[in-house]
Structure 1
């Protein structure tokens, strides 16, 4: 096996800043500190030092230096951190000096975190939580990501694993001691009750996984309606900038345009869709097809109709759909304050004049809180959902066997398949195929 190389990288964002942090991890980390600071500081104590170029001996900068001997470090290896002044020239000179030390090379994206995973400091679900924490833009995303990083899946999975192992032990005991008929019958009955309860817990987690993905990716809101209903104008108003082209010509919007909003700590993805109408040209028809697809996959549809249009629902997509729909009457400024209220519409707005926009945003924020509230979800990624779906299938296959005493070995095999699925949740088994994808999403220095 090739010797482990020491890696180094700037962990803070490029550009001018008050402080920049350079991280070093690996067997030569202590040698780097001696080469640059001419001493090894006390472990886990911030030490003020002058950094020197190891080649020429000239001073580079004054810095705070931290030394974390293995295994008590983020990666589980010897780790050093240099907190220098955040100018480009300072950080570049410091990194060049570190890389002159023998055995040190630049880190790849996510390599520090990957070493933490490989050294048992983080499981795979915690790594994914860390990636989500770095990408979090809203309070709900932060809370959920931090719960993942803190081991939420690992804790829930461990409780499930203990119960599953106990049930499997009871089943295997009847295989190992087949002559104890009374004990065997009692043990199998106990094991089956445990598995039934486990499967109920797994199904509850799967049912809540959609909420976790919505918080992570954003609640999807489609702005739909006929041409010239004010969809693009509303999108621009909510975004606070010109995102979509606004024109009185029907069919101007041909493709879906997205805007990301943070409403009261919850992420939303608002999509402006093509106007729904018949008799359009082939290109516009493709835009309408895409609009209907976005509508079907949305968590909420704002169906806009101008104040001078009849209050109708587009039958081609509304009939039989389970999508939540809010009917919104637009352009009410064109008809004056004496216009009669129509209770068919949840909101009556003028995006141009700002009438009703504050109330619409408040209603959307409440919708977001209702969907993102409560404890953070356990399953927040498609990978998590797939793993727990495999666990459910393994348990369900075991429960489909009516007489466990006649097919005990098959029952045990199904329960072992469930244990294997749980191992994949935290990266204990069979995850090599996903590792490169997960760690490539990290920036260099993390």
Structure 2
């Protein structure tokens, strides 16, 4: 359901997060089709790579014989290996969902081709067996049930049909599992040969953690400065005015009518100071987030926003507390920016579970407004959100072309 700022609830619009079973089947079928096409292209490229390796073998033997112990790759061989390895990376990313960072040189590219050629040829062989089996099955079915063209002119017994059908299904299942194994081998070989080494990966991770820790400290300091500014410019000023009104009321004790007017003004100022204090405390951390959870906190954001805000919430269970907090502040800051700077007339927020290859279960937050666009992702508010999301190993993105719309997304891992 969607809760809007006017208190009405409507069904969420159709989207990838709310797809039905049919769309899920279509996505799976599309993934299978892409994998088959990717394996077919991989089998073709394996033939070209095998040709390169056959030509490169004597060149490499000659180069190693006169390299005095140094592992060098001739320029012609290295350039060809790098080009083919890059083509393989693009194929894996486009068809097999393997788009991880790569870090390799000519020698690692050549080693990758040596390991990948048999894997690619194996995938092509399995595809040929599947095509041959499908053709034979179609021919038998056509001859038995359509044209009546039986073997030796004798119609097959039912048990023969049942036996051949069962055998064909078993062989098709084994071939399909073989394709799954080839896809896994393709990904594993690419990660092992073309990806960063374990030491480089550890160093990159340590550098990321160091940067993230510094960014978290900076974000905390920025938040403290913002709270101090809100208290100084809002609550503190109202309390000073309240004290002055009470002092004037005490000095006007002899004039009952004037004292009553001043006390009424002091009461109104106290009410405004209390409202400002509640606003500051709510912006620091909403109590609903601990009690009712993220959904209730987001509904509060929709109620308090001057713009109509539609909240689409589709999480099967409550995420971890840190994820709830980060998601809440992403939505709150994005809605506030839309109300203040974008000139938008409506904001749509969607929070849903999301699965990403190679990652744990994710919470995906998407905020879209129909404003004029042009949001600066390096501005103070959005940059702070990016740091908050990065501290949880999440990803944060801002798409705000001139003229709009502005779309802010955050993906937060739950494990």
- TM-score norm. by structure 1 comes to 0.23
Structure showing the higher helix proportion among its residues: 2
- TM-score norm. by structure 2 comes to 0.24
| Largest Rg, 1 or 2 | 2
